[in-house]
Structure 1
Amino acid sequence: MKSLFTTMLAIGLFCQSQAADLFTPVQKTELRAPSVPLITSDPYLSIWSPYDKLNEGSTEHWTGTEHPLIGAVRVDGKVYRFMGKQTLEAILPMVEDEIWEGNYTFQQPAGNWTDIEYNANGWKAGKAAFGSSDRSMIGTPWKSEPDIWVRREFNLNEDLSNRPAYLKYSHDDVFELYLNGERLVATDYCWRDNVLLELTAETKKKLRKGKNVIAAHCHNTTGGAYVDFGLFVPNNQTTAFENLAIQKSVSVLPTQTYYTFACGPVELNVVFTAPLMLDDLDLISTPVNYISYQVRSIDKKQHDVQVYIETTPQLAVNKPIQPTIAKVIRRNGLSYIQAGTIDQPVTAHKGDLICIDWGYAYIAGNMNATTAVSLGDYNEMKSTFASSGKLLPSKGEIVTRQAKLMPAMAYTDNLGMVSATGKSGFMMVGYDDIYSIEYMYQRRMAYWKHDGKVSIFDAFERAKENYESIMQRCRAYDAMILNDAEQAGGRKYAELCALAYRQVIAAHKLFKDEKGNLLFFSKENNSNGCVNTVDLTYPSAPLFLIYNPDLQKAMMTSIFEYSASGRWNKPFPAHDLGTYPIANGQVYGGDMPLEEGGNMVILTAAIAKAEGNANYAKRYWDLLTIWTDYLAEYGQNPENQLCTDDFAGHWAHNTNLSVKAIMGVAAYSEMARMLGMNDVADRYATTAKKMAVKWEEMAREGDHYRLAFDRENTWSQKYNMVWDKMWNLNLFPGVAEKEIKYYLTKQNAYGLPLDNRKTYSKSDWIMWTAAMASDQATFEKFIDPIYKYANETISRVPMNDWHYTDTGTWVGFKARSVIGGYWIKVLMDKMQEK
C-alpha cells in the first residue's frame, strides 16, 4: 500500500514531466558524492564509482571489490572512454593471477627497510597473500601478530617512463606501501581490495632497470588481516581506450545518476536508473537497472557514432579465481549475455564484505539492426571496436578458470550519423540470484519472482516494454523526494537525502515467507554482516515510514514471529536473525535488551501514527506488552547493557538509552489509546511521565545533560528524544532546547561528536538530533557540517555513517541502510501536518 503521507504532488509532477528530456535531471545537484551510485538493487547487485570522474578508475561493488563497467563512444573512428578503466596486464601479478613470494617479518625492522639495497637477512621467505584464515588464497598465515612488514624484490627490464603504470594493492587494516623507498600509500583504519594507484611521472623515474623493490607495512587493528600487491600496465591492444572523454557534470538524484561528457565534436549524456520507487514492490525488488545514453553533435556537423558498454563475469563471483561460465541467449526481441560460477553454491556463502557467487549476471539489449551483444576475448573485443566500430564475432559460450582469462561481455549500439538533434538508446544490467535468502531453514525467492511464476527474462522484457513510462515515473519520484526534503530542511539536506536514497533501499532484499508475510531484510553492510538487525531497522525507519509503512512492517514482522514461535523466549527482542543471507536465528554474541526493546516498541507506534490505526500493533500486542514492561522495569537507570553506540566502550547508566526506554513506554501508551484501551494507556503514560521527570533530575548538569547519570562533566547526543517532539508528548519539557544550544558549542568542522569521549560521530544520529531544533536555521547548522563531510572527505566509499568530525575521514560502516534516518526531519514535518 502507499503511505498516507503520499500527496497529489507526485501526480502533478508526473504530469509535468511527461514531455521532459530524460537526459536532463529534474534538479541538478552540487554535492560531490564520496562514491556515486550506478547500478543498485540489493546487497549483491550494487556498483559504484568512488571517483569524481566516472572514467578515473574502475567501478566497484560497495565492498571495494572491482565490479567492472567500461563505457566508450567511437566518434568518426576515434574512441573516447567515459566509464571505468580496463583490466591491466601484470608486470608483478597479484595472488589471484599468480602466487608470488616475498620476504616478511612480524618484528619492527631496523634501518631503512623500504630501500632497494636493504639487507633483509633474518626476514622469512613467504608466499602471498599474507593474511588471516578468514580470507581466501592465503599463502602465509598472519595470525595474532598486530603488524607485518613485506618486501617484494623484482627485476625490471623495460622502460615505463612513457607508458602508464599502476600499483594495485589489497589490505586489511592500516596500510603503507613504498616503491624504491618512496611512500606512495598511507591509509587510516580501513580495508580495501584491488585499489589502483597510477604512478606519476616523478615516481616512475625512481624505477630502474634491474633490481627494484615494493615494500609494505600493515597494522591489523581487529578482525581479519590481509596484504597483497603488484605492478601493472595497460594492454597494448587497448591503448585506444586510454583516450578519455571530458566529464562536464554529474548529478545524483534519488533513483538516477546523470553524467554529461564532451567526446570531441559530440556531447554524451549517460543516465543510470534504478527504479526503486517505494510504492511499487515489483519494481523495488526486480534486479534490473537501465543505462541510457544520448549523443548529439555540438559543432553543427554530422558524426559517425558507436556506443560501447562492457562488463565481465566478475559481477557473479566472490573471488576472481572462481571458475565461471558465460553464454549468449536470444529470445523475444532481446539479446543477453549471462554469466555465473560453475559451482553455483546457492546461499552457501555468508558473511560481511563478500560478493555473491551464485545466480547469474546479465547484460541485455534490444535485438535489432543497430545493437548487438558479444562474448569474447577481453582485449580483442576492445581492439576490434576501436578499429571497426563493431564487436568481435561472439562466442556462444566461454568457460574460464583463471581471473585473467575472464571474457568481455559487451554491448554496442551503432547510432550512425548523429546531428545536433541527437540519437539515444538504452541497455540493461541485471542479476538473477535464483534464491535470495534462507529464512528459517527454507530458501526463499525474491518478491519479484512471485514464487517462480516470473522469470528473469520476463523481468527484462517487462523493463524493456515499460522503459519510457518507468523513466518518466522515476523523474516524477525524484522530484517528489527532493521537494519533500528541501521543504523540510533546505537544499543541502535534500542533496544528502538524494545521495542516500538508493543506498538505503539497496541494502535490503524483499521476499515473502511461507505464510505470505512480506519481509524486507537488511544486510548489516561493513559492520558484521548480520541480517535484519533491529538496531539498523530503527535508524533506517524514517524513509519507509514516510513513503511505504508496509516495508517498515516487513522489517519487523520476522522479529515478532521469531519470538512468537517460541524459539526466542527472552523478555526483549532479538538483535538479528542470522548472518546474511542465512536468517535462521540470532547469531550476535550479546543481547541488547533495552536497545532492541525500545526500538521495536517505538517503531510499532510510529507505524500506527503513520497509518492512523494500531492494527499492526494489535497483532503482536502480547509481545509488545512483555517488552514494554521490561523497559519500564529496567529502563530508568540502565545497567551495563550493550547499546548501538558502544564504540567508545560500554557505560552503565546511559542517559540516552534511558530516554529510549521511556519513549518505548510512552509509545505503548499511545498505541493502547488508539486501540481504545484507555485505562492501559493512562497507566503507562503516567509511568513514562514519572520516569521522564526522574530522568531530568538525575541527568541534569548545568547547561546540559550527562552521557551517564553517574558521570560528571560528560555529555552525549539525546537523539532518542526526537519522538517526544514528533508526537507532541512533552515528556521532557525544555530538555531538547537546552541540549541543542549546548551541542552547537561542541560541533567540529565535519559534525557534532556522538559524545564527549571521542571526536567521531554517526551522521544518522546527527540528523535525528538536528530534527529536535526549534527552527530550520538551527537545523541547518547541524546539516552543513555533514554536507561538508560528504563533499570533502577523502574516504571514497558509499556514504558511511561513522566518521571523525575533526579530520573528515571515515571510521567505518559504509553502504549501510541506517542513513534512511536522514529522512527524520521529513517524517517529523509530515507527522506534525496531520
Structure 2
Amino acid sequence: MKLVSSMLILLAGLFSACSPRQQADYFTPVAESQLRAPAYPLVSIDPYTSGWSFTDQLNADQTRHWTGKPFPLLGVLRVDGTCYRFMGKENIPLRTVLPTAQVEKWEATYTEKKPAGNWFENTFNDASWKKGKAAFGTPEMPHLATTWQSEDVWVRRTFELDEDLSGQPVFLNYSHDDVFELYINGKQVVSTGYVWKNDVVLELPDDVRASLKQGKNVIAAHCHNTTGGAYVDFGLSVKMPDASFFETAAEQTDVTYTPTQTYYTFACGPVNLNLVFTAPLLMDDLDLMSRPVNYVSYQVQSTDGKAHDVQLYLEATSAWATNVPGQAVKSSVILKPEGLMYATTGTTEQPVLQTKGDDVRIDWGHFFLAAAQKESVTIGASDFLHPKKEFATTGNITRGGNIDDPNQEHSLALVDNLGSVKDATAGYAMIAYDDDYAIQYFNDNRMAYWKHNGQVSIDQALLQAVQEYESIMQRCREFDEQLIEDTKNAGGQQYAELCALVYRQIIAAHKLVEDKNGNLLFFSKENFSNGSIGTVDITYPSAPLFLVYNPELLKGMMNFIFEYSESGRWQKPFAAHDVGTYPQANGQTYGGDMPVEESGNMLILTTAIALREGNADYAQKHWDVLTTWTNYLVEAGLDPENQLCTDDFAGHFAHNANLSIKAILGIAGYGKLAEMLGDQETADKYLQTAKEMAGKWKEMATDGDHYKLTFDKPGTWSQKYNLIWDKLLGLNIFDKDIATTEMAYYKTVQNTYGLPLDSRKTYTKSDWIMWTACLTDQMDDFQALVAPVYKYANETPTRIPLSDWHETTDATSVGFRARSVVGGYFMKVLEQLMYPNASNAQSAAQATK
C-alpha cells in the first residue's frame, strides 16, 4: 500500500485576499463525503485558534470556538446591490457596564464572618468590613486579587451609574465556586446549590433591572466553599442596540470535507459562490504545519449568462483574541512596504501565557486579517456596526482604522470588489494568529516552532503564505487524495470518511515548539477534560496517526516525559501523567498518578517507533528510565492495584484485565528493544517474563465465552483494545484465540451506536472501538464494529467537534470534544503498515463499494 508523509497544522486567524483568478480545480474536492459532520472544521491552528460551524448550514449560526463560545466570522456576497449572507449570523455583542476581574480588578468590601442583619440591602452599613479587590478565591484560581480560603465570604460592590439602565436588557456575568447567592439592590438574582460555574451570563428579571438607577447601586454576594477551590467574581453588561444589515441568507447547496479542507457552495441570487477553508497541516513540512495561517478561498460565477456587479465581505471580530467578552482590546490596520496589509487586534493587558486551563481561549498575542495590497481589496478596523452598515449601503468599507474603545467588540473587515462577474472569478483570504510565546516549558517561555526563536516574524510568515498559495493548495489536494486512498484501502469508504473528518481536529489539539536544545516538543491539550498539557494517555490513543505519517512528531509528544524523569524533577519509578496545565508545562498538575497506564504507554510507543524506524536509537537514548519503568511493571503490572487507567472517568478500580495487558506488552516491548540493541540476554529475560505473565493473565481473566473486566469479577467484560499491540509489534505474547474469542463476544453486546467500553455502562470511547475492531484479521469484524461509529458521527444530536466519549444507545455525547485521541482512528492504517497480512486487499476493496 502506498503511504505518504503528510501534513500538520498551520492556522491562526487572518484573511488575505489575493489575485482574483485562481485554478477552478481548487474548488472541486478530490472526494465527496456522505457523512454529516457533528461540526465542520473551518480554522484549525492550535487549541486556541480554532473555528467551527456547529450547524449544517454555515449561515444558520455564529461560527464558534471548539468550546462553543462565539468566534465570529461573517461572510456576505453583494450582488447587484443585494446582500446575501453566506457565513455566520449578525449577533450584537454585549457592552461592559461593570467589568469582571478578568477585565479589571474591581474594588469591594468583604468579610469572612457571618454578618448580622440584611447584608444585601443598599442601606446596610459595611464600614467594618475589609476592603479588597476581585477576584476573591483560593490561590490557584484565575484573575485572583484577594485570597479567600475560609468556608464563607460576603462581598459588597457599590457602584455609581451615570446612565439609566432600567429600560434595556441588562446581563449579569458571574463565576463562583461553590454554593452562591447574589443580590442586586436587595433583590435576589442567583441562588445555587453545590455547583461551580464560570462566566455565566444571565439576563436580569424586569424588577431587578428596574432597580438599576442613575446614582448609587449595590451588588452583594455570599459564597460558601464546600471543598477544594473557592471563587467569586461578577459584573454587569448591556446589549448594544439591535441592528441587522444582512437578513437575507444565501442558499447553501452543498458542504463536504477532506482531511485538510472544508468546501461549501451557495446560490446568491444569479451568482454561485464556492468557498473553501484550508488548513495546510502537512506533517512532512513542520514549518508549514506550524505556520499559524489558514486560507479562505472563494470563487463566484454568474448562473444566468449575464454579468453582475459583485463584492465580497469577510469579517472577524476581536473575540478571536480574547478569553471572555469584555476584555479591552486595541485594533488597527497596518500597511507594510512589502505589499502586505492587515487588520490586527489584541488585548491591551497581554497576559502572556497566564491564562491556563480547559474552557479558555487565548488573550495574548494578536489576531490578523490580512491581504496582499491591491486596488480591489480594502481592509478596515472599526467599531462593531459601522463596517456592516457601510458595506450594505455602498459595497465597500473605509480603509484603515485604529480603535481602542474598551467597551465593545471590534470589527476587522475585508472587502474584495470583484467587479463585473460573468465567468468564474476567484480570490482568497488568510486568517492568522501570532501568539508571541506559545508554551512555558519548565519556566522557560518558548516560541512556536515556525518562529525559529524569533528569526521569523508574522509578517514574513504571511508573505510566504501569499507566495506559496498555489503550491500549498495543490499539496493539500494531493495529500487529501493520498490519505483518503490510504484509509479507504485499509478499511473502506465509511472508515475513510471518519478519518478525513477527524484529521484537522487531531493536529489542531497540539502546539509544536522546540526546547532550548532544539528537541521537538509537540504538546497536546486535554480539550473539554481538565486542560492538562502533554498527557501520556492522550498521546497513546493519538499515536497511530503520527506513527503512520511522521514518527518524529510522536517523539515530540514523548520527549518532555522522558526529560521530566531524567532531569530528576519527577522521581517516581513510573511515568508521569502530564507536565502541567496548558499552556504551562512546568510539572504534573493532575491530581492522581496512573502508574501502570503511563509506563505501559511509554514503553509500547517507544517500541512502535523503533519498529517504524528500523532501529532502537531513540530507546537507547532513554534506556535507564525505560528500564526503571519496565521493572515497575514487572512488579506491579500483572494484577494492578486500585489505580486509574486512561478511562479515568470510570474511576479507580483494581485487577483491571485490559490494563494488565498493557503492562505485559510494555514489558515485552522492552525485551524487543533490547533485542534490537543486541542485548539478547536482557531480551530473553523480559520476553520470557512477559510470556509467563500472559499465561497467568489468561487463567485469571477467562470467563467462558469472553474475558473479564476485572480478574475478581466473573460476569463482567471489557474491550481489550490494548491487545492490538501484541500483533502490531510482532510480540506474539498472548494466545491468538483470545482476540477471536473476544471479537465474537463483542458482536453480541454492541448497541446501535457502538460497542460499550465495558459491562458497567452503555457509553463508549470511539477511539478504542477502532483499536478493538483491528484485533482479528477479518475485515468483516472490522466493519461490524466501525459501522455503528459511523452511524454515531452521522446522527449524533450533540453538534460539537467530534466527541470521543458517547452513549451507544442514543448517540449523545457524554463528555469531551475536539480531542486529539481520535488519532486512534488511524489504527487500521497503521495495522496495514506494520502488519500487512492483517486483512486481505480484496476484502478491503469490497468494503469500499
**TM-score class, shorter:** 0.7 to 0.9
Partner of 1:740: 743
Q: Distance in 2 between matches of 1:123 and 1:88?
A: 36
Partner of 1:46: 50
Partner of 1:241: 246
Amino acid of the structure 1 residue aligned with 2:546: F
- Distance verdict in 2 for CA 1:819–1:657, change over 3 Å: same
- Distance verdict in 2 for CA 1:172–1:287, change over 3 Å: farther
Aligned partner of 2:594 among 592, 595, 599:
592
For the pair 1:759 / 2:725, whether they are aligned, the reply is no
- Distance verdict in 2 for CA 1:168–1:51, change over 3 Å: farther
Partner of 2:27: 23
The offset of 1:192, in angstroms, is: 9.6
Q: Distance in 2 between matches of 1:817 and 1:688?
A: 30
Partner of 1:150: none
For the pair 1:328 / 2:330, whether they are aligned, the reply is no
- Cα deviations by residue, 1:11-57 (Å, 9 ceiling, x for unpaired): xxxxxxx9770011100112111111111111111111111111111
Q: Distance in 2 between matches of 1:81 and 1:449?
A: 36
Partner of 2:728: 726
The offset of 1:125, in angstroms, is: 8.8
Partner of 1:800: 803
Partner of 1:380: 386
- Cα deviations by residue, 1:521-553 (Å, 9 ceiling, x for unpaired): 111111111110111010100000000000000
* 8 Å contact kept, 2:174–2:201: yes
Indicate the RMSD between aligned Cα atoms, in angstroms: 3.6
Q: Distance in 1 between matches of 2:427 and 2:738?
A: 56
Partner of 2:372: 366
- Distance verdict in 2 for CA 1:227–1:322, change over 3 Å: closer
* 8 Å contact kept, 2:301–2:424: yes
- Distance verdict in 2 for CA 1:678–1:9, change over 3 Å: same
- Cα deviations by residue, 1:694-721 (Å, 9 ceiling, x for unpaired): 1001000000000000011111111000
The offset of 1:725, in angstroms, is: 2.1
* 8 Å contact kept, 1:65–1:193: no
SS of the aligned residue for 2:360 comes to coil
For the pair 1:831 / 2:837, whether they are aligned, the reply is no
SS of the aligned residue for 2:718 comes to coil
Q: Distance in 1 between matches of 2:550 and 2:577?
A: 24
The offset of 1:771, in angstroms, is: 1.4
Partner of 2:565: 563
- Distance verdict in 2 for CA 1:786–1:132, change over 3 Å: farther
Q: What are the within-5 Å matches in structure 2 for residues 75-90 of structure 1? A: 75-88=79-92
Amino acid of the structure 1 residue aligned with 2:727: K
Q: Distance in 1 between matches of 2:689 and 2:544?
A: 27
Aligned partner of 1:770 among 770, 773, 781:
773
- Distance verdict in 2 for CA 1:8–1:314, change over 3 Å: closer
Stretches of structure 2 lacking an aligned partner (at least 5 in a row): 8-21, 105-117, 123-133, 153-163, 178-194, 211-225, 838-849
- Cα deviations by residue, 1:254-274 (Å, 9 ceiling, x for unpaired): 111111111111111111111
Q: What are the within-5 Å matches in structure 2 for residues 362-761 of structure 1? A: 362-395=368-401, 397-402=402-407, 405-419=408-422, 421-732=423-734, 733-761=736-764
Amino acid of the structure 1 residue aligned with 2:364: W
* 8 Å contact kept, 2:103–2:326: no
SS of the aligned residue for 1:625 comes to helix
SS of the aligned residue for 1:443 comes to strand
Aligned partner of 1:268 among 257, 268, 273:
273
* 8 Å contact kept, 1:726–1:831: yes
Q: Distance in 2 between matches of 1:317 and 1:255?
A: 26
For the pair 1:341 / 2:347, whether they are aligned, the reply is yes
Amino acid of the structure 1 residue aligned with 2:442: M
* 8 Å contact kept, 1:5–1:546: no
Partner of 1:809: 812
* 8 Å contact kept, 1:631–1:661: yes
SS of the aligned residue for 2:62 comes to coil
- Distance verdict in 2 for CA 1:782–1:821, change over 3 Å: same
The offset of 1:743, in angstroms, is: 0.9
The offset of 1:7, in angstroms, is: 4.7
- Distance verdict in 2 for CA 1:381–1:516, change over 3 Å: same
Q: Distance in 2 between matches of 1:233 and 1:345?
A: 27
SS of the aligned residue for 1:412 comes to strand
* 8 Å contact kept, 1:293–1:425: yes
The offset of 1:193, in angstroms, is: 7.0
Amino acid of the structure 2 residue aligned with 1:355: R
Partner of 2:59: 55
* 8 Å contact kept, 1:35–1:50: yes
The offset of 1:168, in angstroms, is: 12
- Give me the TM-score of the superposition, normalised by structure 2: 0.82
* 8 Å contact kept, 1:648–1:758: no
**Amino-acid identity (%):** 52
- Distance verdict in 2 for CA 1:93–1:85, change over 3 Å: farther
Partner of 2:357: 351
SS of the aligned residue for 1:562 comes to helix
* 8 Å contact kept, 1:168–1:195: yes
Amino acid of the structure 2 residue aligned with 1:62: W
SS of the aligned residue for 2:495 comes to helix
Aligned partner of 1:33 among 33, 37, 40:
37
- Distance verdict in 2 for CA 1:645–1:829, change over 3 Å: same
- Distance verdict in 2 for CA 1:223–1:815, change over 3 Å: farther
- Distance verdict in 2 for CA 1:319–1:136, change over 3 Å: farther
SS of the aligned residue for 1:431 comes to strand
Partner of 1:282: 287
- Give me the TM-score of the superposition, normalised by structure 1: 0.83
Q: Distance in 1 between matches of 2:497 and 2:227?
A: 34
- Distance verdict in 2 for CA 1:222–1:481, change over 3 Å: farther
Deviant stretches of 4+, over 6 Å = 89-99, 122-126, 129-133, 135-138, 154-158, 165-173, 189-197, 220-234
Partner of 1:254: 259
Amino acid of the structure 2 residue aligned with 1:769: T
SS of the aligned residue for 2:403 comes to strand
Q: Distance in 2 between matches of 1:269 and 1:81?
A: 13
Amino acid of the structure 1 residue aligned with 2:85: R
Stretches of structure 1 lacking an aligned partner (at least 5 in a row): 11-17, 100-121, 146-153, 159-164, 174-188, 198-206, 212-219
Q: Distance in 2 between matches of 1:156 and 1:784?
A: 56
- Distance verdict in 2 for CA 1:224–1:364, change over 3 Å: farther
How many residue pairs get matched? 750
- Distance verdict in 2 for CA 1:762–1:747, change over 3 Å: same
Amino acid of the structure 1 residue aligned with 2:358: D
SS of the aligned residue for 1:833 comes to coil
